[in-house]
Amino acid sequence: MSIVDHELGQLPGPPTRLRVEVDAVTLRVLGGAFGAIAKEMALALFRMSYSSIIRESEDLGAGIFDSEGRELCESDSTPMHIGSLPWYIRGFLRRLQGELGPGDVIVHNHPYLGASHSPDVSVSVPIFHEGEHLGFASVNGHVLDVGGSFPGINPDAFDVYAEAKLYNGIRWYRAGELNKDVDRMLFDNVRTETMNRGDLNAMLSACRLGHDRFLRLVHRYGPDIVMSSAYDWMDYSERMLRAQIAKIPDGTYRAPTGWLDDDGVNRGVPLRVETSVIVDGDEITVDVTGSNDEVPTGYNVPYEGSALVSTYYAIRTILLDEAIFPENVPQNDGVFRPIKLVAPKGSLFNPRFPRSCFSRFCQVQRLVDNVILALTEPLPQQTLAGSSAALTAGVYSGYVAERGEYWVHIEINEGSYGGRNGKDGLDSVDCHLANTRNTPIEECDLRFPLRCDQYELRPEPAAPGRWRGGIGIVRRNRFTEDGLFACEGDRHLDPPRAVFDGWDGLCGSITKNAGLPSEQPLPALVTNVHFRQGEWLELRVPSGAGWGDPLDREPDLVREDVLDDFTTAELAREAYGVVLGPEPDYALDQAATARLRQDLRSRDPTRSLSDHVARYPPPRQDLATTEAGDQEFELDG
């Protein structure tokens, strides 16, 4: 079967392995052991990795899987990675089924055969016991470079061959012996050989750790007990999710039409995102029919490894929220079974081979956001207003002649959540499917020819609501040597959407040399903009939307927001109907507030935070002259 003929998104049938009955105590013990193995694998990977995108941001996944790719357990890391690993395994098994043996190590990154996208490279070690293939210890992580058209990021790539070197079930080790020719192929064809080699060796160590830990369980309890326990846990997770789905009234729920900025080349042509959620008994189908057709750049989404995984995440995180759900429901293959995704072939979320799929994260973040917005109608207490739902992954790079290698720094800039019932949106945190950590300033300054001059919450006020939206970040990074910048971002045009009469959030922006005569706004999706030594970049990440009518927010909370700079006295009056005295105390005038709120309820307010910010712009920090070590740069444009 060719890639073109590949039938997408088909979960394997029930396991055929003979199952035995496992007592409740043993089942619970083994369930805890499975989770501990996955977490230990992830800890080993991010502690040993060379690149900051894995070591600091924890852009990785780790887990144990059966011989057909069913997930037994996963690490608490990036949901995109761990949800996609079953599809990586099924992808490379199409080539290697029946050919694997003990000591083999498989490297895979093919986006049309399960990978989330080509920079997310997986390493898998098969687990054998007395000749029986029980499963895999597998991890994946975002490596710095995969040898495509441009360093680090390739949104302009013509096809998958231009975006990256493709590894389709490559045996890095065979029967425990390093395949030296494959090893040279893996690392001679990338710009960051040292970092990639360090990261892949860390992945291999994590897999070997998981392999050994799992076999310890098998040796102690026997393969029948261990595998039967794994399948029992899958069935349990499936039952728990189906029970929650069944509580939602049957019907079709639609999100407002969303618009992505553009495809990275055809500027000014937004891309449509349509999302419906169909509830039928104890099953849910997410349908993106009506969304944009595939595009001629790298701004397409691999169906299995990214689009489908985003629907798993969205449904699970709403219905089985670990913070509030009364029981522990492990993440495994059972959670995937009640969820389906309909994405027409040839669309943005199901492109045809060989379309490039490199830059796909903003689209799936928006898909998750839309699923949450769609379910606001039947689940108003469990969902939230629109979040930033854009990755804003900045890639800084340059060439080091002395080493014959590039330096590449990938920085995931934090977003923000929308408000939800009873809680304000979270500020300055990666949201939804990404779950990555920020890169510390020290990491940037010590390891790369960059200096971070500003890193703080955006100065604009939060989106009003009974529960306000979260605030994104503003960050300024300056080049201390000539270099390049690329970005996989979005949401410079379509703000996060409010619910229940809240206010929409704020769009993001990227600006080269902000505040100078040479100031240049940049698109959210951009490839290799040249920066001279001393020039800088300012990123503003979108701020989340508000939940509920701001006139219902407690006046004391509004006053606290003014004192904490989360909102302004002007917006307190305009949006919340709260009248405050002069600074610095901002004393609350209860009587005037009651009158103003009554007046505002009688008319339809504007509810445009961007218009308000245009009328009352916050002061901008002047960083036109800064220092880098002993050298001072003064740019006059």
Q: Is residue 539 helix, strand or coil?
A: strand
pLDDT the model gives residue 315: 96
Distance in angstroms (rounded) separating the CA atoms of residues 598 and 579: 13
**11-52 per-position pLDDT tens digit:** 898 898 889 999 999 999 999 999 999 999 999 998 999 998
Give the residue-averaged pLDDT of 609-618.
Answer: 91
**264-312 per-position pLDDT tens digit:** 999 999 999 999 999 999 999 999 999 999 999 999 999 999 999 999 9
pLDDT the model gives residue 625: 47
Is the pLDDT confidence value at 237 over 60?
Answer: yes
pLDDT the model gives residue 80: 74
Is the pLDDT confidence value at 552 over 80?
Answer: yes
DSSP code string of 581-633: -STTT--B-HHHHHHHHHHHHTS-----HHHHHHHSPPP----SEEEETTEEE
Confidence of residue 626 (pLDDT cuts 50, 70, 90): very low
Distance in angstroms (rounded) separating the CA atoms of residues 373 and 371: 5
pLDDT the model gives residue 149: 87
pLDDT the model gives residue 13: 87
Whether this model's pTM surpasses 0.85: yes
Nearest to 142 by CA among 249, 226, 59: 59
**317-340 per-position pLDDT tens digit:** 999 988 889 998 999 999 999 999
Confidence of residue 433 (pLDDT cuts 50, 70, 90): confident
Would you say 36 and 12 are in contact if contact means Cβ atoms under 8 Å apart?
no
**504-521 per-position pLDDT tens digit:** 999 999 999 998 999 999
Nearest to 128 by CA among 195, 67, 45, 174: 67
| Average pLDDT, rounded, for the chain | 93
168 or 53, which is more confident? 168
Find residue 251's DSSP bridge partners.
279
Give the residue-averaged pLDDT of 92-107.
Answer: 96
| % residues pLDDT > 70 (the chain) | 96
All structural domains of the chain with their residue ranges: 24-241
Give the residue-averaged pLDDT of 452-475.
Answer: 96
Confidence of residue 632 (pLDDT cuts 50, 70, 90): very low
| % residues pLDDT > 90 (the chain) | 81
Confidence of residue 627 (pLDDT cuts 50, 70, 90): very low
